[in-house]
Structure 1
Amino acid sequence: MKANIKAISYYLPEAVLSNDLINQEFPEWEIEKISSKTGINSRHISADNEFSSDMAVKAAEKLFAEHNIDRSTIDYLLFCTQSPDYFLPTTACIIQDKLGLNTSIGALDFNLGCSGFVYGLSLAKGLIAGEMAKNILLITAETYSKFIHPKDKSNKTIFGDAAAATLITAEKGFCSIGNFIFGTDGRGAENLIVKQGGMRFPVSSENEDIVDEFGNVRNDKNLYMNGAEIFNFTGEFVPKLIFSILEKSNLTKEDIDLFIFHQANKYMLNHLRKKIKIPEEKFFIAMEGCGNTVSSTIPIALYEAQKQRRLTASKNLILAGFGVGYSWAACNLII
């Protein structure tokens, strides 16, 4: 039984952090420098009382309204987040209740970041292939801004908050989901991490701020990213990932009409594009107005590609997610 993507919608919080505002706070961080290096002009920031479940619900409600979807047909909910409302209960259960979905559905959280959307597609395809569900609501939502130290200009520049809702169904959609390749290397775990907050390192009131060589301030309850190591990781593993999914799908680069990668930052994406030798016209970037929204970057980019009619002349697409974990995954879509 085929699994198809039928519809996507996304939600961005109301508050906007522009490059101009970042420059006002950090005058040494020039607006043009931020834009040219990251490809980001602004990012949306969740309100103090706005959390992942709130954004997930708003994204799902947009999906239902924009695409005339009957919520009573949803029979499974997958929720990808690394910033859940609580340790327990499962945030997916809260979302089920807030959306008024049937109590007969399955619902679960899974904790993945930049590769999460592709992993979610694989879970949805498996549920459909196993005839356990027919209409799966896959939601990605992150509030990474709540992990970032106010004086950490580097991470504030890159990350934005967002949620995306995708309907995967056994019925006809705008594309079908093909093959998958996965990868994991936990040796890189400490290069992108929020160290405190779990059971191993509970949040402490005795945190000492650390200032790095670039003037970024953070402590162990904040998001830490070793940008150089993350860059090296992507340069080593992402090209292999792309060639592996092409081989598994019996495709060549020339067969692919559009590549959509996790929208990390413009500099990294262009480096990967050149390394893999992907023509610029076949490489889609959509992060200028929202930044790196972690697990929501790929569905947002896919939505924008469809909106810009980049999919109408396409036949084969490649999606690739990679980052925190380390975790990576790719799949091919057939229009």
Structure 2
Amino acid sequence: MTTKLTVLATGGTIAGIAGSAITPGYRSGEIGIEDYLEKVGGLGLEAELSGKQIANIDSADIGPMVWTPLHQAAQAALADPACQGVIVTHGTDTLEETAFLLDQTLPADKPVVVVGAMRPADAVGYDGLRNFANAVRVASDPDAAGRGVLVVMGDRIFAARDVYKVRTRGTEAFRGFPRESVGLVTPASLEWFGAPWRTGAGAAFGWPKSFPGVAIVYAYAGLDGADLNRQVSDTTRGIVLAGVGEGNMPDGVRQELARLASRGVCVIRASRADEGLVDREDEDDANGFVAARALNPQKARILLQLLLAAGESDPATIQRAFDMR
């Protein structure tokens, strides 16, 4: 039986055009979803694809104005009994953030797969067609359900919680942490490395009416409290520190963040390291800080926004939410 999948397009390099097969520059989001589905129609994919254009932009421009209609369209598709899975085409620069946000706000009863490309559609070695064919393979597999939102890039399948971009060039541009890939896929084969872990799970969060202001502050040698405060406004409700090492920071910054935490600003200690596991430290209770655990700064920001939008402000409650991810 042919699988019926809904493709939600947002643009990015996978829909980009360079105008030359070898030029380094290109324009993201040039191919519309109908043209793209016609292009992939010749691949012989064993799925019935229907598409909807949500946006057609560079993923650097992705934010709530695109996330909201994307989420609405994904929810509608998942609620349709005729739809057996959803594929989201997306630029790679912020792909991990959109995937994580959808993972936290969609049920896990049907496959949702986010896919992109590192080369535009008219470039030598365009990876988009293979990545898309792989995404169709994953979204068509009943065993993809119960795993939350998945990301397919370079023949690897990643969980949204783990995936992050590690390279600006080349087709093997994504890795996972703390888990590496959760499966391998080609257009002709699929292998999972474990059983589904979210079977029967609903959405962890409802969709927020608005996204609270949360700043990411990048730690570096010489950062001080004045530098920190230049990045914080009166509307800032949370701060994620991309700390050095295991979420560390200069002492002056620690003192200023503790002062802000005492005034009700939620402070998350994350790490600027690629594989940055941040555990709680003895001073976190006194300072009012939360440890990001395995979430990188950009994902920690999204989780904090969802928690704040849901009315959570207690550091201990927020810490438990991070511990569960």
TM-score, length-scaled by structure 1: 0.27
Higher gyration radius (CA): 2
Greater relative contact order, per chain length (Cα 8 Å cut-off, separation 6+):
1
Structure 1 or 2: more helix by fraction: 1
TM-score (norm 2): 0.27
